[in-house]
Amino acid sequence: MTETHIPFTGVVRALPASTPFVGPEALERIRGAKFDARIGANESAFGMSPKAKAAIVAEIERASWYGDPENYELREALAAHHGVSMDEICVCAGIDNIFSVVVRMVVSPGVPVVTSLGAYPTFNYQVNGNGGVLKTVPYHRDMEDPEALLAAARNEGAPLIFIANPDNPMGTWHDADTIQRMIDGVTPGKLLVLDEAYIEFAPEGTAPPLDTSNPNVIRTRTFSKAHGMAGMRIGYAIGHKDLITGMNKIRNQFEVTRLSQVAALASLHDPDFVRHVVTEVEAGKAEINTLADRHNFIALPSATNFVAVDVGNGDKARAILKALDAEGVFIRMPGVPVLDRCIRVTVGTKQDRALFTEAFDKVIAEL
């Protein structure tokens, strides 16, 4: 094979040719058939707000135009919604894109970054892709460990720390006081990324009050989960105006489409729809908990739109995933020990849940 001579950077040359996730579409191509129940990617099974759909239809004739690079109307509405200033909001193409911008903003090649071992892998992907060096802290009782993360940042001299609350992949969460102590413990010159993608599903008292006067924390929210707009790719960051200015210096100005902007704005003005989704998810989680209990498995308490079910060990979890795949059911599992003793099931529609229950009962009986 002829060697190619491409002027890759040292960072790119050192990276594996991989992505953080194998998508369900790729798995369907491998298996040669569509999944009957797609409940593995934490997408919303309940669609988007009717108001968002109507806004897309109304705007479709202008989809040939670029979106407003300032995301002005959406930022204005988000600022009013959260009680902050417009210059303390940055809209991007999903939280994953926010991670990319934040990492590029503060991490140079060789710089250490602290996260939890087994936490949301796309953050790691962005750090690796920028040449940062990941330093990981183990989970404690299936929860990210704020004190250990802060200690690791001090010991490693890391300028960037990541935590998700509620957490993916375990669904666990800390209360607002615990997270506020973590925020208060971040020393000047360091930045905490607090990912709150699932905050709409969390109990009252999970999120500490927003304080955009603090330049040591940036909080990320999304329209992908409770708003049902994962495919529209739209999320936002809330932070000190100087942090947001830094993000605006390097973000792709035209990344958020016109359709995404109008849909997100309409969904933001439809809180009844979001409450409906949260109610449906709670009912679905209760069904998954009951199913797990029937098979003598442990369903972890969840403040998200999924449930992590402890099936005993990683080998058994992988066997269950493989068998469910054969039955046409797509779920996922955490990727590292000891978290990999769990499977992770997104709450689907009633039909999805019925298919999952039937397949799960069959698979467990056969295994």
A 10 A CB-CB count for 62 gives 12
What pLDDT does residue 290 have? 98
Question: Residues 104-112: what's their mean pLDDT?
Answer: 97
What pLDDT does residue 2 have? 65
What pLDDT does residue 4 have? 80
What pLDDT does residue 82 have? 98
Instruction: Tell me which amino acid residue 132 is.
Output: G
103 within 8 A of 122, measured Cβ to Cβ: no
- Of 102, 89, 97, 65, nearest to 224 by C-alpha is 97
Taken in order 356, 357, 362, 363, the sign of the CA dihedral is positive
| pLDDT at 30 > cutoff 90 | yes
**What proportion of the chain, given as a percentage, has pLDDT over 90?**
95
What pLDDT does residue 112 have? 98
What pLDDT does residue 16 have? 86
**Picking from 17-26, 218-227, 350-359, which range would have the lowest pLDDT averaged per residue?**
17-26
Over the stretch 153-189, which tens digit does the pLDDT of each residue have?
A: 999 999 999 999 999 999 999 999 999 999 999 999 9
| pLDDT at 21 > cutoff 70 | yes
What pLDDT does residue 221 have? 98
Domains (range + CATH), the chain: 21-47+272-366 (3.90.1150.10), 50-269 (3.40.640.10)
| Six-digit token string for 261 | 């902007």
Q: Whole-model pTM?
A: 0.96
Over the stretch 253-273, which tens digit does the pLDDT of each residue have?
A: 999 999 999 999 999 999 999
What pLDDT does residue 22 have? 86
Instruction: Tell me which amino acid residue 11 is.
Output: V
